[in-house]
Structure 1
Amino acid sequence: MSKNKEVTYHNIDLQMLKELSEADGISGCEKEVSRVVKKYLNNYIDEISYDNLGSIIGLKKGKPNGPKIMIAGHMDEVGFVVRDIDSNGYIKILPVGGWWGHVLPSQEMTITTSAGKKINGIVGSRAPHGMSNSEKEKVIKPIDLFIDLGVATKEEAEDLGIQIGDMITPNVNFSIMNNQNYLLGKAWDDRIGIAVGIDVLKKLQNIEHDANIYVVGTVQEEVGLRGARTSTQIIKPDIAFALDVTTAKDTPVDKGEIKLGCGVILSVLDSTALAHRGLIEKIEEICKELKLDINYDLMTAGGTDSGIIHKTFDGIITMTLSIPTRYMHSPRLIIHCKDYIQTVEVITEFCKRVNSELLREMKTTNR
């Protein structure tokens, strides 16, 4: 084997990742995703419940009075809703979540009707012929784009069952790339976080632990961390992890320390939360013991479910663990298997170790 050939990481349920990535679910429309999450959670949990917004909560029980650990990943992806249908059958769109107009023209999209029917179309674009330089350099606002269904009239579009408010998502198939560690799909933000939580439960099968472990697929993160609030109020956790993605800065146009395949990423801070010092120190300790790679992320813009979780009730010991991802908030994202596996490993080991004594120790860190 060539010295430069990268190790291929195995023991990942690629079918689960495929189903999570390909499910359609923007903020407020996460039911299709929730059903996939439930299918896999059911293999490893003792109880399942929901909050009234639709967040799904799976509990693997520990000791009756053991600490409560919440592992949260959000189910919603950025997308659109149908804003209007014009007389020629073109679909006007309204973004749900943050989009950059450059990534959208000529992309294939799926409209999911209220009856669950899937209808494909493409985002319209212009040919460059005859355009001025200023027009070519201008980024179109997503709200000014439209979807072409290949129909001639509004009536044809309505006959397909399309209505105002229907969900629109990128039509992208999961795939393994040329280096098999690299996985392409839509909605890794944040289906990969949910997958990490499910795999933590899988690794804890037949292992005794004090902690009561709640894996949560939260809703409406992209529009204001809303499901994090309601699910946290139900669980009342002692310790919480928000699992999310962060920007991989290893491309010709975006350079930095965070790269695909770099391992565990500890989020020290973002615009909505500071990692709890006691928790981040314990995760660092476990990473060193397990010989996992440690990286640090500091974001001055953006946030995760930690932003709500940590300030619920009288404060919850919380931090974010991130998976580096290329091309966030676009139709196609790329992740690396090593980062996924190492994140599962460190959280699994933490869940094995947590008991009342360790919880008391962490609570005194900031006092």
Structure 2
Amino acid sequence: MKIDRNEVVRLLERLSNAKGPSGFEDEVIDVARDFCDGWATVEENTLRDGLIVPNGTGLDDNRARPRVMMDAHGDEVGGMVRTIRANGTMGFVTLGRFPEGALCGQDVLVRNARGEWLHGTIGVKPPHFTSAAEKAAHVPPEMILDVGATSAEEARERFFLRIGEPFVVATQFTFDPERGIAVGKAFDCRAGVAAMLIALRELASRDDLSVDVVASVSAQEEVGERGVAAAARTLDPDVAYMFEGCPADDTFLVPDEVQTALHGGPMFRHFDRCMITNPRYQRFVLNAAEAAGLRVQESVREGGGTDGGPVHLMDVPCVVSGVPCRYIHTATSICAIDDVIESARVAVEVISRMTPEVICGF
């Protein structure tokens, strides 16, 4: 399987820079639609799931072969305007979880009622104005969403700000071609979306498969894995192969405990808070990767959840392939482009080996 490294970088760049917090994934779906032009159709539902069906593959109930659903969520952690204050600043809620302090001082882009994205910041009170009592209490400072308006009237009439509008961090993608390192926002799960799209296109071009392959760029994963259930009800798969931009642990654990490192290939989790992975399916994946000489990692997680959670409860066997990404759920993440490529290769190898008998054995 030949993969154009530069194409993968360009795809990841477009996906990373797309602004798509939970519930507002439109730009991400647009990137996927452009990539699929000519070889697959991309439709949307009301949750902003992107449903991808390669040409020649139908969704009728009289299927001749098992159906494999690939999935990667399109949303990113972000926020929503909750209030517009008298001084022109805004209160907000987060869409998904940020680590404590991760948003303080960050550049953000806030969408207004005209669909424009305004550059602003998450402001905090400077130390010059922090009282001794506040310092002694070690209370986290209040975070203020600010694009420069000086009154509520100006915020509404000149900046066209409204409650309910989203914001994302403003980090722009960069890539170091010599070292193969990408830096950007939303690699959870845009790194997974990139790997999935590359793998899906390769699988769609093959005429020797024993299965049909469809895919979803699902919505609202960061607020409780909501979109993937609707996608699965439409695509009606017999088995699912999930992609993630998963948290790398190689910068904060001792070496013996590291289970997800950069340049180690995709990570397949046996357990997290939402799913005990089907052990027969998991073993099939790991054996297929080993037989093909492809790098993979394994983990047992005490926390975290993925789109595998809702779908495996629909009696659909699931595995989760995680592209290792350092510092997810912050403004800036780091990943290795070879891990994105290896994740696509493993998916193609695994799905190419699937047969009706294999799937029945899961």
* TM-score, normalised by the number of residues in structure 2: 0.90
CA distance in 2, matches of 1:43, 1:21: 23
C-alpha distance in 2 between matches for 1:305 and 1:147: 30
Superposed counterparts of 1:276-355, under 5 Å? 276-312=278-314, 315-355=315-355
How far the C-alpha of 1:246 sits from its partner, in A, is 2.2
Range with bigger deviation, 63-72 or 102-111: 63-72
Which of the numbers 134, 138, 154 marks the counterpart of 1:156?
154
Q: Conserved in 2, the CA contact under 8 Å of 1:99 and 1:330?
A: yes
1:233 paired residue number: 233
What is residue 15 of structure 1 aligned with on the other side?
Answer: 10
Find the counterpart in structure 1 of residue 202 from structure 2.
Answer: 203
Specify the code of the residue in structure 1 equivalent to 2:115. G
CA contact (8 A) 1:204 1:348 kept: yes
2:8–2:194 contact (8 Å) kept in structure 1: no
Letter of the aligned partner of 1:77 in structure 2? E
Question: 1:1-367, aligned counterparts within 5 Å?
Answer: 10-45=5-40, 47-60=41-54, 61=56, 64-129=63-128, 132=132, 135=135, 138=138, 140=140, 144-158=142-156, 159-177=158-176, 180-208=179-207, 209-251=209-251, 253-255=252-254, 256-257=257-258, 258-312=260-314, 315-360=315-360, 362-363=361-362
Query: Whole-Å Cα distance in 1 between the matches of residues 195 and 107 of structure 2?
Result: 28
Question: For the residues of structure 2 that align with 1:41 and 1:10, how far apart are their CA atoms?
Answer: 18
In structure 2, do the counterparts of structure 1 residues 152 and 58 end up closer, same or farther at CA, with 3 Å as the change threshold?
same
Structure 1, unmatched stretches of 5+, are 1-8
Change over 3 Å in CA distance of 1:137–1:288 after alignment to 2: farther
Matched position secondary structure for 1:190: helix
Q: Which amino acid aligns with 1:16?
A: L
Q: Aligned in 2, Cα 1:125/1:198: closer, same or farther, shift over 3 Å?
A: same
Residue type matched to 1:79 in 2?
Answer: G
Per-residue CA deviation, residues 81-112 of structure 1 (Å, 9 max, x unaligned), is 01111111111111111112311121110011
Distance in 2 separating the partners of 1:345 and 1:196: 9
Q: Amino acid of the residue matched to residue 80 of structure 1?
A: G
Tell me if the contact between 2:190 and 2:245 (Cα under 8 Å) persists in the aligned partners.
no
Alpha-carbon distance between aligned partners in 2 of 1:293 and 1:183, rounded to the nearest angstrom: 19
From the superposition, tell whether residues 149 and 198 of structure 1 become closer, same or farther in structure 2 (CA, over 3 Å): same
TM-score by length of 1: 0.88
Q: Which moved more, 1:36-45 or 1:300-309?
A: 36-45
Structure-2 change in CA distance of 1:49 and 1:163 (3 Å): same
User: Conserved in 1, the CA contact under 8 Å of 2:110 and 2:165?
Assistant: yes
Q: 1:139 to 1:58 in 2, by over 3 A?
A: farther
Q: How far apart, CA to CA, are the structure 2 residues paired with 1:223 and 1:179?
A: 36
Residue of structure 2 in register with 1:4 after alignment: none
Please give the per-residue CA displacement for 1:124-145, whole angstroms capped at 9, x wherever unaligned. Answer: 123334654973884637xx41
**Take 2:123 and 2:52, find their aligned partners in 1: how far apart are those partners?**
41
TM-superposed deviation, 1:205:
5.0
Cα RMSD over matched residues? 2.2
1:70 CA drift (Å): 0.7
Relative to structure 2, which stretch is displaced further, 124-133 or 85-94?
124-133
Q: Distance in 2 between matches of 1:13 and 1:137?
A: 48
Residue pair 2:266, 2:297 contacting (<8 A) in 1 also: yes
Moved over 6 A (4+): none
In the TM superposition, what whole-angstrom CA distance separates every residue of 1:7-39 from its partner, at most 9, and x where no partner exists?
xx9354222111111111111111122111111
Unaligned runs of 5+ in 2: none
Instruction: Find the counterpart in structure 2 of residue 5 from structure 1.
Output: none
Q: Percent identity?
A: 24
